[in-house]
Structure 1
């Protein structure tokens, strides 16, 4: 049967993770996806019962290993960095893959930390505290849910990489309504004048107290889904 003139096959989107972001993206695709040529391929969550009554049964994926059978064009991971580590290579064989998180200076309760950083946070402080300052490589395993902005910068700045890009993680108990990220870029020092080119930007993302994800991040994820149209198996950083 010949396709109708002008008909375009919808891009099928798979969602890995059904926390706040996963729920938001699922709702947006179900409610507005048809306007953008998108349809939901599947939703997976470690606790499947969390999807009951919110995701149609036929779209619930029981085992993540079955995602390849759902013919997704784009798979969005909003679960845990371990998912990308375990399944990212296999997923990229079948679909575009986005690993999407935002790291900011936050209230201590907004951090999900490991090892020594978690112990340092639990020790408690009523003052603004620098939890870590140093190469991004050492920070990544200690704050896997909170360092994606830094990791993306390390990948984008390929001439510096994870060992030379510096990360600074700050816990601020007074930061009740915002997540803040500061990015500073230093150029080479001019030998004749001793001056150095520097660019600094600050982003303040509204956030409720204790939330891991800032309010503006939801719309950012949705915009990224709409713009991701075939990247040849590349990892998309947002």
Structure 2
């Protein structure tokens, strides 16, 4: 009997800091291999990615026969290629804020009939337990609060202008539905999008997101997850749980340090769950 490990072929879409990290880790391993690496500009990959692995036209992805395609580029990738990816491979969405678009979420769920659509948990703590509560219909409410230094945000619209005024005290930039926040901060609130997908009985409209700009957080990103389960919320006699995650982060970085290893674990675990949507 052969002892040769079966190697999964993984395609990486995006070669920013996270994409570079994933490519380096894949190259170190024997249980996975690079099917391809695509980036908006190929110059960034020169001398770093094997020439044979560079994919210059993303529409040619199917010829590389990847088992799993991992997006770490931009939410627009899922808009343009998500259903096509799922027709040929499992697909892991590194920018799940894209799914705040109801039409796209529906399209990807419909396409995930032969392969799996995987959502990385990232900095979202307790996702599996929350999904179980959502499956049983016992999850009544969920709120995710993210706190970062003002320089760590990539924003648009009114909250971008508000963030520019933050100097001394912490300021709440947004407090409302996750669906409303995702288009304003698509690079910052993937954790909230993952929460809305795990809490599927509530979804993007009913999961609450709060974004806080805090000048005092030079070395940390803080994520608070608060939920309410069975019982009477009105009389404060419902099940309640709150977790606080302090993620070390380089000053000004959009992504916390611990998120890299968490994302790698998610990528390695994104297989063998069959069709449908899976948190990983």
Q: Does 1:115 align with 2:154?
A: no
Query: How far apart, CA to CA, are the structure 2 residues paired with 1:170 and 1:206?
Result: 17
Structure whose CA Rg is larger? 1
Q: Is the 8 A contact 2:175 2:208 kept in 1?
A: yes
Change (3 A) 1:191 1:43: closer
Structure 2 counterpart of 1:22: 19
2:8 maps to which residue? 11
CA pair 192-45 structure 1, distance change in 2 beyond 3 A: closer
Distance 1:191 1:135 in 2: 19
Distance in 2 between residues matched to 1:116 and 1:19, nearest whole Å:
27
60-69 or 93-102, larger mean C-alpha shift:
93-102
TM-score normalised per structure 2: 0.77
Change over 3 Å in CA distance of 1:94–1:233 after alignment to 2: farther
Unaligned 5+ runs, structure 2: 96-121, 124-145
- Match for residue 36 of structure 2 among 36, 42, 55: 42
1:1-238 aligned within 5 A: 5-31=2-28, 33-34=29-30, 37-100=31-94, 102=122, 104-190=146-232, 194-238=236-280
* Cα distance between partner residues in 1 of 2:162 and 2:80: 29
Length, aligned pairs only: 232
Taking structure 1 as the reference length, what is the TM-score of the superposition? 0.90
SS class of match (2:87) = coil
Quick check: 2:85–2:91 contact (8 Å CA) kept in 1? yes
For 1:92, what is the secondary structure of its paired residue?
helix
CA distance in structure 1 between the aligned counterparts of 2:19 and 2:275, rounded to whole angstroms: 22
Counterpart Cα distance in 2 of 1:234 and 1:77: 17
2 CA distance for matches of 1:235 and 1:39? Answer: 24
Distance 1:121 1:49 in 2: 33
Q: Unaligned stretches of 5+ in structure 1?
A: none
Contact 2:222 2:246 in 1 (8 A): yes
